[in-house]
Structures are given as C-alpha cells and as structure tokens.
Amino acid sequence: MSKIKTIDSESTFIVRNPVLRPGLPVETCRFEGDNLPTTTHFGYFHEEMLVGIVSVFEKSNANWQFDKQIQVRGMAVLDEFQKKGIGEKLMHNVIKLAKENQKKLIWFYARKNAVPFYERLNFHKRGTAFEIEGVGTHYMMYRLL
Ligand SMILES: CC(C)(COP(=O)(O)OP(=O)(O)OC[C@H]1O[C@@H](n2cnc3c(N)ncnc32)[C@H](O)[C@@H]1OP(=O)(O)O)[C@@H](O)C(=O)NCCC(=O)NCCS
C-alpha cells in the first residue's frame, strides 16, 4: 500500500515550517499558487504521521521553449526521517505521474546542499549558483522526461 497521498496546501506547513522555514512564522510557509486547482501537494505518511512533502506546480520556465513543464517546490522531510529513502520515493512519485500526464520537463530551484540528492535522481544543474535572500544558495535544476 502506498504511503504517499495527496494533501491540502495547509497540511504541508506541518513539514515546511520546521524543515524549510525553521523559527519563522507559519505564514512564511505559504507559496504563491499553493491553492490553484492545477497545483498538487503530496505527503508521505509514516504510521498516519505526515513526515515528508513535495508540491507540484503547473508552471513553465522561459529557459525552455515548450509547454508541458512542471515546477517542483517545497520538497522536505522531517529531520528525524531524513536519509531513509522518503525523499527519493516522493520524487519518484512526481516523475511517474509527470510521465503519465505527458509532461516533458521537471524544473525547480534546489538548495545547494540538496543538489547531490537530486543528481542521484538524474536531475542536472542549469546555470550558476544564485542567492535567495534568507534561504541561501540555490541552483536551477531540471530533468527532461
Ligand atoms: C533533501 C531531502 C528532501 C532528501 O530527502 P531524504 O528522505 O533525506 O532523502 P533520501 O533518504 O530519499 O535520499 C536518497 C539518497 O540520497 C542521499 N541524500 C539525501 N540527501 C542528501 C544530501 N543532502 N546530499 C547528498 N546525498 C543525499 C541519501 O543518503 C540517499 O542515498 P543512499 O540511498 O545511498 O543512502 C531531505 O534531506 C530534506 O528535507 N532536507 C532539508 C530540506 C531541503 O534541503 N530540501 C530541499 C530543498 S531544494
């Protein structure tokens, strides 16, 4: 039985807040487009407890001159559940569904420390590093499907 389920945007805050916005008010966990009908949030459950999340936005990036792109945001696993394969399962789920829906490309902004995790999943860096204020160094990453 799959432990991955779709969840509503507010439920993602349970993981976004401690992992991606530690010590910051919960309002900082809200992303533009979270509640669009085209946005999907996935949660990984460990014995009914939400421990990992990833969100998929139907958003194209002008670096690629074609449609059918998706943007991944807010990939996070609670500290005590990291390095147990949960992030990988969440991303495999995103890739599988993207292929089923005939998407052509997945792109996102990755934190520098997570780049090796994504490279293992066949994502590639595009361009040079840049800073996101208050969050740190990022790279654009992508994978053609
Ligand atoms: C990055 C993150 C989502 C990965 O999820 P995870 O569940 O810890 O990763 P997994 O256990 O599925 O990792 C799969 C493999 O990648 C490796 N890996 C995971 N994170 C890594 C990292 N930051 N650097 C290098 N390798 C990493 C794991 O060791 C594992 O390899 P193994 O199978 O040989 O042990 C998670 O660690 C996290 O939430 N980090 C903090 C928030 C963050 O940086 N999010 C990404 C924002 S872009």
Spans of all domains in the chain: 4-106
| Amino acid identity for residue 142 in this structure | Y
Q: Residue whose CA is closest, atom 29 of ligand 1?
A: 83
> What does the pLDDT read at residue 88?
98
23-60 pLDDT per residue, tens:
999 999 999 999 999 999 999 999 999 999 999 999 99
Above 90 in pLDDT, residue 133? no
**CA atoms of 62 and 83, how far apart (whole Å):** 33
Q: Say if ligand 1 is within 6 A of residue 58 CB.
A: no
Under a CB-based contact definition with an 8 Å cutoff, are residues 124 and 142 in contact? yes
CATH code for 4-106? 3.40.630.30
Banded pLDDT at 1 (limits 50, 70, 90): low
Closest-CA residue, ligand 1 atom 37, reads 82
HEC sequence for 91-120 = HHHHHHHHHHCCCCEEEEEEEHHHHHHHHH
